[in-house]
Amino acid sequence: MRNWTRLVQNEWLKLTKKRSFWVPVAMMAAIAALITFMLYKFSSTVSELGSGASYLAGMWGASGMGQFIAILSIVGTAGIIAQEHAQGTIKFLLIRSRSRGEIFAAKYAAVLLYTLMMMLVAGAALYVSGGLAFGFGSTGEQWLNALREGAYGFVYSTVYATMAFMIGALTRSTGVAIGVGLAGTMFGGLMVFKDFYKYVLFPNANLSVYSTMGPPLPGMSVGFSLIVLAVYMALFLAAGYTVFRRRDMA
Amino acid sequence: MTTTQSGKPAQAGGEEPVLRLRDVSKTIGRKTIVDKLSFDVRRGEIVGLLGPNGAGKTTAIRMMTGLIKISEGDVRIAGRSIRSDFKDAIVQVGAIIENPEFYPYMSGYDNLKQAARMTDSVTEERIAEVIALLGLQEALHKKVKAYSLGMRQRLGIAQALLDRPKLLILDEPTNGLDPAGIREMRDYLKKIAFSEGIAVLVSSHLLSEIEQMCTRVVVIQSGRLVTERAIGASGIGQERPELRVRVDRLGEAKQVLEQLDGVEVKETREAEREVIVLAADGEMTTLIDALRGADIAIYRISETKKSLEDEFLQWTGGNQIA
């Protein structure tokens, strides 16, 4: 296990040692601050929020900044397998005394860490800017709401980052992985009012709707969505791993 | 006499070969890229893997390192199967497959650390040791994208040596290097093979390089083994070396030599006044005595050594080499 965490460390360094690493991080913070400022200045409804934590609760999920967090997470991590192929470093990676499973798992762990980091950067920027705009005095209930929305936002970003991760493993193309991941986040906004659609990934990814607008389709609930999402993510990972493990690295 | 598990007489002090290929094949669809390839590499040997374009060298090397699946047969590294015991087999191998590729945005040191974190036993001291061995100190903290190809090759060897492998596999290691870089590489390899006692398998398209570097060559073509032979010892597999005898009277010399048993006259060359003969070492005295007995002056006797390139073209039927 200790040895496996060193593989995760390797993957994390590959993501963060790039000079372009800071671009999405800075962008995330700047856009969160900018949106807060615009809302504070021009919107009449949000000024009733009263605190940074309740502002955070409204903005952290997929209905707020969540889609943007997901997009940046996808862009940051979609190349994690494809890049190794493009650089030729996949040979360097796979001729060590490590199974392909360990390496695949370490890469996925780095994807989750990156997504979590983007969530935290967004959360910090939203809370600080929201606090400055609406005051820092937050109640415990507001914090609980914020944390729940944060968790929902993390689930949302993770679903699409996992999808892009799988596509990267299947196609060895960063561009295709990013494209499919982004297309996925866009399909989330479409709604097909047929019963079968509740078993499709997209209407289930945004768990925030249950606390604001209610179930997108009859018969859906948070638990239902979580099960559907878990099944899809398991399929994505199984498909990606199967291909990665069996592929001839020529 | 000790015997190995296979029951064959043990060689080289009874050790299991560091690399053993047995009937290794790779088929993709109906196409056979490597066909029942078998050979061994032992401790302290530098073996050249030669073959014309598309002979299957790189495919063979990728199978040895587990990058592509073996369709049939097995590769054993120090007795461990790369198919069924991958982690224990590959831990004995250091390799550069094709070009030495690194994370360009990281320094040489960071890249070595990446390699070190993937093994269990590499310490900071060992990293410092290979850095010193390959003279990488000065470029260590520069980003790899600023490295010359020669520097990248050295870094490649450094990462390959980190975990003290028993087998070093190098695919085209002198590709793109300048003459100084090639000589440097050659010297490192000899040093490593002899001082650290590890086995080295090198594929290269530069035959003269292989000739100067390797103790043995394995030649493959169309995925099959063509020949396997030692370099430098012309006697092996060639009991009667080819000799050029320069004399003053060619016609008489030819007649005299044709009458000797154990000496075969291949041809005469008028311009050089040379008889080309095949004669075993034991026939030399007879040959000289016979010529002297006929009062024929001998100016020179020399062995015609074919260069590796000549032999290679002979083995592979004159195909272009790559």
Band of pLDDT at residue A46, cut at 50, 70 and 90 = low
Report yes or no on A93 lying in a domain. Answer: yes
Instruction: Give yes or no for a contact between B223 and B55, defined as CB atoms under 8 angstroms apart.
Output: yes
pLDDT for position B232: 64
CA distance B319 to chain A (A): 24
Query: Where is A26: in which H helix or E strand?
Result: helix A22-42
Among B213-217, B258-262, B275-279, B308-312, the least confident range: B308-312
Q: pLDDT per residue over A209-250, tens digit each?
A: 888 888 888 889 999 999 999 999 999 999 999 999 999 987
Which residues from chain A sit within 8 angstroms of residue B160, using beta carbons?
none
Selected residue of A11, A21, A87, A92 to mutate for chain B interface (largest B Cβ count, 10 A) = A92
The predicted pLDDT at position B3 comes to 39
User: What is the rounded distance in angstroms from the CA atom of residue B174 to the CA atom of residue B204?
Assistant: 7
Asked if B319 and B53 count as a contact pair (C-beta separation under 8 A), the reply is yes
Residue percentage of chain B with pLDDT more than 90: 44
Split at pLDDT 50, 70, 90, the class of B6 is very low
pLDDT at site B237? 44
Whether the per-residue pLDDT at B236 is higher than 50: the answer is: no
What's the pLDDT band for B113 if we cut at 50, 70, 90?
A: very high
For A6-42, the pLDDT digits (tens) are: 999 999 999 999 989 999 999 999 999 999 998 888 8
Task: For residue A29, tell me if it sits in a domain.
Answer: yes
- Residue B168, min C-alpha distance to chain A (Å): 12
Which band of pLDDT confidence, cut at 50, 70 and 90, is reported for residue B234? very low
Task: Tell me what pLDDT residue B5 has.
Answer: 43
What pLDDT, on a 0 to 100 scale, did the predictor assign at position B160? 92
* DSSP structural state of residue A63: I
For residue A250, tell me if it sits in a domain.
Answer: no
pLDDT of residue B2: 40
Residue B217: its H or E element: strand B216-221
Residue of B nearest to A97 (CA): B87
Cβ B97–A18 below 8 Å, yes or no?
A: no
B196 has pLDDT over 80: no
Q: Is A1 on the interface with B (CB under 8 A)?
A: no
Look at residue A204 and tell me if it is in a domain.
yes
More confident of the two residues A188 and B21: B21
Q: Mutate which of B106, B113, B117 to test chain A, going by most A C-beta atoms within 10 A?
A: B117
Res B49: pLDDT: 92
Q: How is A68-120 classified by DSSP, letter by letter?
A: HHHHHHHHHHTHHHHHHHHHTTHHHHHTSSS-HHHHHHHHHHHHHHHHHHHHH
Q: What is the mean pLDDT of chain A?
A: 91
| Structural domain includes residue A137 | yes
Task: Give the per-residue pLDDT at B281.
Answer: 82
Cβ of residue A88 closer than 8 Å to a chain B Cβ: yes
Rounded Cα distance between B69 and A177, Å, is 26
The pLDDT value recorded for residue B238 is 53
| pLDDT at A196 exceeding the cut of 60 | yes
CA B298 to chain centre: 38
The residue that leads in pLDDT, B190 or B48, is: B48
Instruction: Please report the number of interchain residue pairs, chain A to chain B, with beta-carbon separation below 8 angstroms.
Output: 78
Q: Which of B93, B117, B159 is opposite residue A6, by nearest beta carbon?
A: B117
Range of the domain at A174: 2-245
Greater model confidence, B239 or A164: A164
Option in B62, B105, B119 nearest A96 (CB)? B119
**DSSP three-state, residue A165:** helix
Q: Inform me whether the pLDDT recorded for B13 exceeds 60.
A: no
Beta strands across the sheet bearing B216-221: B93-96, B167-171, B199-203, B46-50, B216-221, B224-230
Q: Of B208, B212, B202, which is closest to residue B311 (Cα–Cα)?
A: B208
User: Helices A140-171 and A79-87: crossing angle, nearest 10°?
Assistant: 30
Mutate to test the interface with A, among B68, B91, B103, B169 (most CBs of A within 10 A): B103
Q: Which of A94, A117, A237, A70 is nearest to A165 (CA)?
A: A237
Residue at A48 is within a domain: yes
Tell me the per-residue pLDDT of B46-93, one tens digit each, with 9 for 90 and over.
999 988 878 889 999 999 999 999 999 999 999 999 999 999 999 999
The reported pLDDT for the residue numbered B197 is: 80
Q: Which of B69, B91, B115 sits opposite A248 (nearest CB)?
A: B69
- pLDDT of A203 > 70? The answer is yes
* Cβ within 8 Å, pair B119-A94: no
Helices (H), chain B: 57-64, 86-90, 108-117, 124-133, 149-161, 179-195, 207-213, 250-258, 284-293, 308-316
- Domains of chain B, each with CATH number or no CATH: 13-230 (3.40.50.300), 242-303 (3.30.70.100)
User: Does the residue A12 lie in any domain?
Assistant: yes
What pLDDT is stored for residue B134 in this prediction? 84
pLDDT at residue B12 tops 50:
no
Q: Count CB-CB contacts under 10 A for residue A140.
A: 8
Q: What angle do CA A7, A11, A17 make, to 5 degrees?
A: 135
- Residues of chain A with Cβ-Cβ distance to B65 below 8 Å are 91, 95
Q: Which amino acid is at B245?
A: V
Q: Residue A176 domain-assigned?
A: yes
Nearest beta carbon to residue A17 from set B66, B106, B119:
B106
Quote the pLDDT of residue A195.
Answer: 87
What is the tally of structural domains in chain A? 1
- What pLDDT sits at residue A202? 92
Q: What is the pLDDT of residues A68-123, one digit of tens each?
A: 999 999 999 999 999 999 999 999 999 999 999 999 999 999 999 999 999 999 99
Cβ within 8 Å, pair A6-B159: no
- The arithmetic mean of pLDDT across residues B93-117, rounded, is 94
Band of the pLDDT at A63, cuts 50, 70, 90? confident
- Per the prediction, chain B carries an average pLDDT of 85
Question: In this model, does residue B8 exceed pLDDT 50?
Answer: no
